């Protein structure tokens, strides 16, 4: 997708208003419209419940920070506890999207290469074949199948050397956030060579009193089995899963008491290079190409790229990231942006610091203390005022809103209301006892508002056992009340500032 707006424009024009009077000296708290309403507008204000009343009705323990600004001018219209840093959860991904667009550009593509270290003659490679990752967060099983098919089209039938796999384009990270449950599929390893968002598919079926287990890298078209991730059934009730690094493979166990008659789930992969290498070797063999077992290397030797698989453009990747909230994608595009800006790869914590510094400079996002690019860490902090005003600045470039998904407001029965007069494009963020929403509202009168709402309870989160609690008591109802509050605040703003 091409927006027709260059990165030079993004920084030089759309964000040049950082020092404008509209952004300067905005009130920290304002519970009244900036201008005196007249006529119907005055009546709408009088009917709209006060923000404090809505927060009280939500009955949320913890803190609520909110801010709404005129998206066109940046004028802060209303806020409460808006300068307090709270966990933004996956709202972080909206910042990451802007960071990646600025550094890489919307047309950037990630490449995964097959590199030959020696000559090919008579269908034989007299050297090593390297599967070299380029940091593509979206490489899937079908992509490796395509790589193998295109390799076969070159006439190659045998690799006399080794099959090597390299993921050094990104520093290896065992898990995005080590405080998350080990079996959480949304918390995989990071590498320059990723496959299926670094998740392996575990499926079980019971027949005649016995269980059949599969671990595979399935897609819509293929389901190649893998041995680098293995599962054993253990006679216990808890914990449901356990993990051990067995050197050459991920060693999982599952509790017999939790299996039932059958089911499936995606588990995180901790050895992504071996995972991709094994699946590629399977497809190579299916194409009649002889290779050895994959071996991981730390340094990329010289050679000739003979086949390349390119990702979709970055803008498409970011749209899917914001829609499906994929943590691995956010971390990979953020790391790629930092590497482009620095001219060298950096670790995740340093990359997050780089993004904080960029956001302060380019978006005026003061006080941001983000620990990653996905929002998975609950140690990240961001204020509602900083986020709302950053969104107002970005609104002028027109780069983010087209990538955000439509958030449908609900009717009195809790059902999605497609005919709701307020149109919302936003990013959600959810952790246990953390709920965030930030984005844009367009009113029937044509007003554009930028907003951020962060709710979080540190005391309730402190009671969670991250190794066990997939669904802590009370978390679902707390988050549901938070989402109802978000809609109530948006509807208030539509009435008060809509036109």
Q: Is residue 145 pLDDT above 50, yes or no?
A: yes
Q: Is residue 340 pLDDT above 60, yes or no?
A: yes
Q: How far apart are CA 305 and CA 270, in angstroms?
A: 27
Mean pLDDT of the region 37-65: 78
Query: Any idea which of 18-27, 171-180, 287-296, 304-313 has the lowest mean pLDDT?
Result: 18-27
Mean pLDDT of the region 109-117: 98
Mean pLDDT of the region 47-55: 92
Q: Is residue 486 pLDDT above 80, yes or no?
A: yes
Mean pLDDT of the region 303-331: 98
Q: Is residue 461 pLDDT above 60, yes or no?
A: yes
> Residue 267 is encoded by which pair of tokens?
């588990």
Q: What are the pLDDT digits (tens) for 360-407?
A: 999 999 999 999 999 999 999 999 999 999 999 999 888 899 999 999
Query: What is the structure's pLDDT at 6?
Result: 38
DSSP string, 85-154: -B--GGGHHHHHHHHHHHHH-TT---EEEEEESS-EETTEESS-EEEE----TT--HHHHHHHHHHHHHT
Confidence of residue 105 (pLDDT cuts 50, 70, 90): very high
Mean pLDDT of the region 272-297: 98
Query: What is the structure's pLDDT at 412?
Result: 86
CA neighbor of 98 nearest in space, from 364, 302, 347, 304: 364
pLDDT above 70 covers a percentage of the chain that reads: 90
Q: Is residue 296 pLDDT above 50, yes or no?
A: yes
Q: What are the pLDDT digits (tens) for 187-199?
A: 999 999 999 999 9
Q: What are the chain's domains? A: 7-106+313-497 (3.40.710.10), 110-311 (3.50.80.20)
Confidence of residue 468 (pLDDT cuts 50, 70, 90): low
Query: What is the structure's pLDDT at 26?
Result: 33
Confidence of residue 87 (pLDDT cuts 50, 70, 90): very high
Q: How far apart are CA 317 and CA 194, in angstroms?
A: 15
Query: What is the structure's pLDDT at 119?
Result: 97
Confidence of residue 121 (pLDDT cuts 50, 70, 90): very high
Query: What is the structure's pLDDT at 467?
Result: 62
Q: Is residue 43 pLDDT above 90, yes or no?
A: no
> Residue 221 is encoded by which pair of tokens?
């078209």
Q: Is residue 343 pLDDT above 50, yes or no?
A: yes
Q: Is residue 99 pLDDT above 50, yes or no?
A: yes
Confidence of residue 472 (pLDDT cuts 50, 70, 90): confident
Q: Is residue 449 pLDDT above 60, yes or no?
A: yes
Q: Is residue 315 pLDDT above 60, yes or no?
A: yes
Confidence of residue 146 (pLDDT cuts 50, 70, 90): very high
Q: How far apart are CA 267 and CA 202, in angstroms?
A: 7
Mean pLDDT, the chain, integer: 90
Mean pLDDT of the region 307-316: 98
Q: Is residue 431 pLDDT above 90, yes or no?
A: yes
Which strand ranges, in their side-by-side order, compose the sheet holding 304-310?
Answer: 294-297, 163-166, 129-132, 111-116, 304-310
Confidence of residue 16 (pLDDT cuts 50, 70, 90): very low
């Amino acid at each position: 997708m091409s927006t027709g707006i260059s990165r030079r424009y993004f920084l030089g024009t759309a964000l040049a208003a950082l020092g404008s009077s509209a952004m300067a000296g905005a009130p920290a708290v304002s519970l009244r419209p900036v201008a005196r309403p007249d006529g119907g507008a005055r009546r709408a204000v009088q009917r709209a419940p006060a923000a404090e009343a809505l927060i009280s009705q939500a009955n949320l323990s913890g803190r609520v920070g909110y801010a709404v600004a005129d998206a066109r001018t940046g004028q802060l219209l209303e806020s409460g506890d808006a300068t307090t840093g709270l966990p933004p959860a996956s709202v972080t991904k909206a910042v990451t999207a802007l960071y990646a667009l600025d550094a890489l550009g919307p047309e950037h593509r990630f490449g995964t290469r097959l590199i030959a270290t020696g000559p090919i003659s008579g269908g034989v490679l007299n050297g090593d074949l390297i599967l070299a990752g380029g940091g593509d967060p979206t490489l899937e099983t079908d992509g490796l199948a395509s790589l193998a098919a295109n390799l076969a089209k070159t006439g190659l039938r045998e690799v006399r050397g080794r099959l090597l796999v390299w993921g050094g384009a990104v520093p290896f990270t065992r898990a995005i956030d080590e405080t998350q449950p080990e079996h959480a599929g949304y918390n995989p390893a990071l590498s320059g060579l990723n496959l299926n968002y670094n998740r392996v598919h575990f499926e079980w079926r019971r027949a005649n009193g016995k269980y059949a287990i599969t671990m595979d890298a399935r897609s819509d078209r293929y389901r190649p089995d893998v041995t680098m991730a293995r599962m054993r059934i253990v006679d216990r009730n808890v914990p449901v899963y356990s993990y051990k690094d067995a050197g050459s493979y991920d060693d999982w166990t599952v509790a017999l008491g939790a299996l039932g008659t059958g089911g499936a789930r995606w588990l995180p992969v901790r050895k992504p290079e071996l995972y991709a290498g094994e699946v590629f070797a399977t497809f190579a063999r299916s194409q009649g190409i002889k290779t050895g077992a994959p071996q991981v290397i730390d340094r990329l030797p010289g050679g000739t790229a003979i086949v390349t698989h390119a990702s979709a453009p970055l803008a498409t990747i970011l749209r899917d990231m914001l829609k499906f909230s994929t943590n691995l994608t956010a971390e990979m595009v953020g790391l790629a942006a930092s590497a482009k800006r620095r001219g060298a790869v950096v670790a995740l914590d340093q990359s997050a610091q780089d993004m904080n510094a960029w956001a302060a400079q380019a978006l005026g996002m003061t006080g941001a203390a983000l620990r990653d690019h996905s929002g998975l860490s609950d140690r990240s902090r961001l204020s509602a005022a900083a986020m709302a005003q950053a969104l107002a600045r970005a609104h002028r470039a027109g780069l983010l809103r087209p990538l955000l998904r439509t958030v449908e407001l609900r009717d009195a029965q809790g059902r999605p209301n497609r005919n709701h007069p307020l149109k919302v494009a936003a990013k959600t963020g959810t952790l246990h006892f953390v709920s965030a929403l930030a984005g844009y509202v367009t009113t029937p009168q044509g007003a554009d508002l930028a907003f951020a709402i962060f709710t979080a309870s540190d005391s309730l989160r402190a009671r969670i056992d991250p190794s066990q609690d997939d669904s802590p008591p009370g978390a679902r109802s707390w988050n549901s009340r938070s989402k109802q509050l978000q809609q109530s605040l948006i509807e208030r703003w539509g009435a008060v500032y809509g036109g």
